[in-house]
Amino acid sequence: MWVNGGTINSGAYSIINDGWIQVSSGTANFSTGSGNAVHNQNKGYFEVSGGTVTISGRLENTAFGVTPLTGIPATGVSITGGTINLSTVGNNASNTGAFDMSTSSILEMSGGTVIFQNPSTAATPLDINIVSGGTKDVIGGTFQIGNGSTSVGSTFMVNSAIDLYNFTINNTNTPSVKLVSSDLTIDNILTLNGGILDAASNSLSVIVARSAAAAMARTSGYVTGNLTRYRYFGFMTFYVGTGTAE
């Protein structure tokens, strides 16, 4: 399926992709119910290069294998542009993120923005879950926590075993982030516009790898726990609440 303009809507059900879903322009609205998913599996390919994708629940990727199916250029999830809105209704699957990349899966991200509207309501909640293994490269793009419809006091659970490029906490209703089991490493810019980025509760660290003053921006909020910034020549600010700065 190729969305290259216009709008496509689906209903209150999950979508299983074993083929090729491509969005390059226009709007693709997938699912309407809480817990619904777009599940990219086996040798499926989910590709977003432009336009706007909205998924009511989660984008789950278990696709693997370096040899794609005939007629499909690759396997896994590819994000090079566009905007992906996740959990616009809700995600209630335990141990499964609204953006969930399994151990063996393939993820290539060099652009675009992935936005999380509502935090998980599951017994064991996750919102970003990127597990090590498979082939995963994030060399561009932005993960944004919260949007204009996020409820007051929302806390999003983040677990990423790989580096992310840009990471932004939105300003509306001051959403917060709690790290679950992996340090959070940002290769380009960490932007704090909302609530707390909590690394302290699970004895983890936030690491900003880019050695420039502009690699960390803030209008409100701060990090609790350990914050590491790579050194550069000049002044550097550490936005830390309770914790340590290095």
**Please, where are the H alpha helices in 144-200?**
none
Count Cβ atoms within 10 A of the Cβ of residue 233 and give its class: 0-12 exposed, 13-18 middle, 19 or more buried.
exposed
The DSSP element (H or E) to which 229 belongs, if any, is strand 223-229
- Per-residue pLDDT, 156: 98
The pLDDT tens digits for 82-114 are 999 999 999 999 999 999 999 999 999 999 999
Tell me, what's the pLDDT at 238? 74
Q: What is the DSSP letter of 213?
A: G
| Predicted confidence (pLDDT) per residue in 11-47, tens digit | 999 999 999 999 999 999 999 999 999 999 999 999 9
Residue 213 has what pLDDT?
A: 87
Confidence of residue 207 (pLDDT cuts 50, 70, 90): very high
Whether 236 has a pLDDT exceeding 80, the answer reads no
- Percent above pLDDT 90 for the chain: 89
Stretch 167-179: mean pLDDT: 96
pLDDT at 235: 60
Note the pTM of the prediction, 2 decimals. Answer: 0.95
Mean per-residue pLDDT over the chain, rounded: 94
Burial 63-98 (b: 16+ CB within 10 A, else e): bbeeebbeeeebbbbbbbbbbbbbbbbbbbbeebbb
**C-alpha torsion 100→244→195→81, nearest 10:** -40
pLDDT tens sequence across 212-229 = 889 999 999 999 999 999
The residue among 101, 156, 169, 155 whose CA lies nearest residue 132 is 101
Residue range 133-150: mean pLDDT, rounded: 97
124-147: average pLDDT: 97
**Residue 191 in this model has a pLDDT that exceeds 60:** yes
pLDDT value, residue 245 = 53
pLDDT at position 246 is 52
Confidence of residue 151 (pLDDT cuts 50, 70, 90): very high
Which residues are CB-contacts of 206 (< 8 A; sequence separation ≥ 6)?
179, 183, 184, 186, 190, 197, 199, 223, 225, 226, 227, 228
pLDDT at 239: 75
- Give the residue from 62, 46, 60, 134 showing the smallest Cα distance to 96: 60
